[in-house]
Every structure is written in C-alpha cells, then in structure tokens.
Amino acid sequence: MGGVWRRVAAVVGGIVLAAATLVGCGSGAAGRVVLVFYTSPDGVDQYRAAAAECSRASGGRYTIEQRRQPTHSTDDQRLYLARRLATSDTGLDIMALDDIWTAEFAQAGWILPYPPEVARQVAQGTLRVPLETGMYQGRLYAAPLTTNTQLLWYRKDLVPHPPKTWDEMIRMAEDLARRGLPHYIEVQGARYEGLAVWFNTLLASGGGAIVAENGDVQVARGDAARQAVGVMARVATSRAADPSLSLSHEDETRLAMQAGKAAFEVNYPFVYVSMHEDGGGAFIDPQGRPTSHDTGRQVGDVFGWAPYPSVVAGTPARVTIGGLNLGVSATSRHPAEAFEAVQCLRNRDNQLRQAVGVERPPTLAALYDDPTLRKRYPAWQEIRDSLDHGSVRPRTPAYANISIVISDLLNPPSKINPNTVVDQLADQIAKAVTSQGLVP
C-alpha cells in the first residue's frame, strides 16, 4: 500500500494547489451570483446544455458555470472533491456525486441536507429506490439525477428462453459448452467495485444485507451470504466461466458478447446501444463457427434482454442500482440559489437529455412513459421493474473501505470457499466500518 499512498499524496498535493486558485469563484462581477457546477467528464455536453438552460430559466438571478472533473476514474473524482471540500473551498456549489458517496460526504459535513420543502419536491415523482441513495440518517442530502441497473442479456438463437435463475443459467451454459456452442456467462469479476456490486446483488436477492441501517454488520447472519458466494463460486468454476472472468469489467463483458464468445451477460443498458452502434460483432452459427459477413446477420440481430436472474426461484432479483445525485456544497456562498438550481438541473428535459445522450436511465417515474425514452431503451419495462425491486449499497461513510474488502476477498471468484469466506467478510467489514471513510 505504500506505493499507492505515495501516488495519492502526489495527486492530493496537485489538487490542493489547484483548488487554492479557485477559492472565491462563487460570485461574479458586480455581485452577480455564479453557481459552480462540478460534473464528471462523461456527458459533459449534456451537463453544459442543462447549465445554460437553467441559467436562462433563473431570469438573471444566477448563472450556472459547468466545470468537469479532471479524471474519468470514479475513485479519483471522489478524492478530488473530498480534498477540496475538506479545505473549506468555496469554489464549489453543486456537485454530481456517485450515489455511494452520500453517507460519507454527509457525515463529514461536506454537503448540506436539503431543506424539508425542497426535499418533498425532489421526492415527488422520483423513483423510490434511487431516492434512497440520496438519503442519510433520515434526511435527503443528494437529489437523484440519473440511475442505473443491470439486466440479463442473452443470445436468442442459442437458448429457447432466458433463464430465470442463476442455477438455470449455469445449467444452460454448460449444456451449450457440451454442444460446442458459445456458452460463457459474462459478469464483472475483477478486483474493483463491479465485483462488490455482484456480491451485493446476490446477497440482497437472497434476503441479506452487508450493513444494517444502524451500522451493524449483517453479512454473517443467516444463509444469504453463503448462498451469494456459492453462486459466484459455481459460475467461476463451471464451464460457463470466461477464462478472463477475474479481470472482467463492464467493457470486457460487453466486448466478449459482441465478439460472439458468450451466451449470457449481466450488464447495464448501455450495452444495447453499443451492440447495435458497433455493428453487433460476428455472427456465430449453431455449430459455433463464425459465418461469412454476406449473411447480413450478426450477434446484434439475436441480442435479447430479460430480468436479472433470481437467486431464489420465484423471487425477483434485487439488483444493486447505481447513478449520479446532485449535492450542494456546505461551503457554497449561495445555498438557496443552489438548491433551486438543482430542481432545474434534474427536471424532465435534463434527465431525458442524459438518458438519450449518455445512456443513463432517469430517476423520474413519468419519463418511462416518454416515447423518446422508450425508443432509446427498448428494454425500458425491464429497467423500470428492476429499479422498483432494486437494492442500494450500504449507506455508511465507510462504504469505500467495505468495497475494497469485498473485492479483495472475493477475487478471483474461482478461489472462493463459501465455507470460510463469509466469516472473513464479516470480520473485515466490521473493521472497515469502524475505520469510516478513507479520506479524513
């Protein structure tokens, strides 16, 4: 870890110096109110358009200046904001926050709780589970802007119907393998947040939880945890496992399906657009051989979707959702205007702009009836259903630590021992909870 922290220290030093030059950027000339809106680099055009639109809508009372984070790495974005906020930097007003940062930023006093009336307005029409990601200790600290959930994507030409459970999917994949057909189950198994998401989804789907609302470690209680890691171990040690499973992120799983190597994939809705815009990959005939391109058929032509597989037959999976929320900095010089601006930045038009432009599903329920969104997301009904049944990651300031513990202990998935790893998880997660967040 010494080398990691030396690199972190170097990054932090640069961030603090850069932040110092931006202090005091919250007001323009002649007292004009300027709200600085920090966003991730992805979707920057959509954020910029929203900022311009909402500036006009304010009638000249404030101007929103959109600024992008300097890195695409979620961890580095978190560190960038945390270091600036920890130094009481007043050059931040509104921030696009990963939904797993809410508890840490709220507990540290870096973001303000939404006033009760504004919180009620945010809740009106917002999907219940995404709204939970912005809550901490019963108060709203971050307003949901976008959300995300995983579905099952599969080859309609290889299986007569999509599997309903993980056990059924493993059996189908192994049968395809015996017949010499594409058969991999693509899932995110690398040592990163995606592996923690896989575990949390399986755990929640079996009725378990990593951490209770009061902060108690729950992972060791009951059979849900053993059931969850058991599914992971069976996938990783079966013929269904891609040899690169322990290194797979979202893009690797997407590309494996597009290349015609896989029969099943659990991933986010962006893969549908990617499959069709990238040409859909080479088509694989029933004997597992690539066909000539003059057939006109590709994997995209037989790319289907279905609900995420259940852990318990007959019980819908509780897929771990993701997304971005909008928080107001505790150091903002104009919090009242910032809270007002958030309402505009996450309104119907701006959420639809994000959904269509960068494949981030909306958090407003009414948008799932919008023809433009339905055209962009043919799987809109499955996405909406998944969000309604979804689960959230532990709302604790220590989540960054917890994620590291989970991804370290469960990678590689092929080495998981369900008889011993659950106790190890419980012990290490308990230590992670007591140490709180990584950024002081």
Domain spans in the chain, listed from the N-terminal domain onward: 14-147+323-381, 151-319+398-435
**Token reading at 111:** 């973001």
Taking only the tens of pLDDT, the chain with its 440 residues reads 333 333 333 333 443 333 333 434 445 545 689 999 999 999 999 999 999 999 999 999 999 999 999 888 888 999 999 999 999 999 999 999 999 999 999 999 999 999 999 999 999 999 999 999 999 999 999 999 999 999 999 999 999 999 999 999 999 999 999 999 999 999 999 999 999 999 999 999 999 999 877 667 776 556 899 999 999 999 999 999 999 999 999 999 999 999 999 999 999 999 999 998 876 666 655 555 555 443 456 888 899 999 999 999 999 999 999 999 999 999 999 999 999 999 999 999 999 999 999 999 999 999 999 999 999 999 999 999 999 999 999 999 999 999 999 999 999 999 999 999 999 999 999 899 887 544 43
| Rounded-to-integer distance, Cα 340 and Cα 343, Å | 5
- Encode burial over 97-106: b for 16+ CB neighbours within 10 A, e otherwise: bbbbbbbbbb
Q: Give the C-alpha separation, 105 to 136, whole Å.
A: 10
**What integer pLDDT is reported at residue 438 of this predicted model?**
46
Q: Say what the alpha-carbon torsion angle 34, 357, 119, 139 is, to the nearest 10 degrees.
A: -100
Same fold, 14-147+323-381 and 151-319+398-435: yes
Predicted pLDDT at 240: 96
Confidence (pLDDT) at 317: 98
The upper half-sphere exposure of residue 234, i.e. CA atoms within 13 Å in the direction of its Cβ, equals 16
> In the prediction, which pLDDT does 18 show?
39
Confidence (pLDDT) at 277? 81
What pTM does this model have? 0.89
Fold of 151-319+398-435: D-Maltodextrin-Binding Protein; domain 2 (3.40.190)
| Domain covering 14-147+323-381: architecture | 3-Layer(aba) Sandwich (3.40)
pLDDT at res. 32: 85
Quick one: tokens of 297?
């058929």
Quick one: which of 374, 416, 382 has its CA closest to 306? 382
Q: Which residues pair with 415 in a beta bridge?
A: none
